[in-house]
Amino acid sequence: MDICVSIYCHPTGRPNSALTVNIPIWLEPGRTILI
């Protein structure tokens, strides 16, 4: 399952995934992106 923030998706890195969320997503330890 892809976890996407804006056009950034993790772990696949594919934009426009079926799942888009507007909550804090931990992309890597100590790094959070808020949209």
pLDDT in tens, 1-35: 455 555 555 555 555 444 555 455 555 555 555 54
Q: Are 14 and 2 in contact (CB under 8 A)?
A: yes
Report which secondary-structure segment, H or E, holds 9: strand 8-10
In the chain, how many domains are there? 1
- Domain of residue 11 covers 3-33
* Dihedral pair phi/psi, residue 31, rounded to 5°: -130, 120
Pairing of strands 3-5, 31-33: unpaired
Residue 12: the pLDDT is 54
Q: What is the CA radius of gyration of the chain?
A: 9
Predicted TM-score of the model (pTM): 0.14
Short-list 23, 30, 28, CA closest to 5: 23
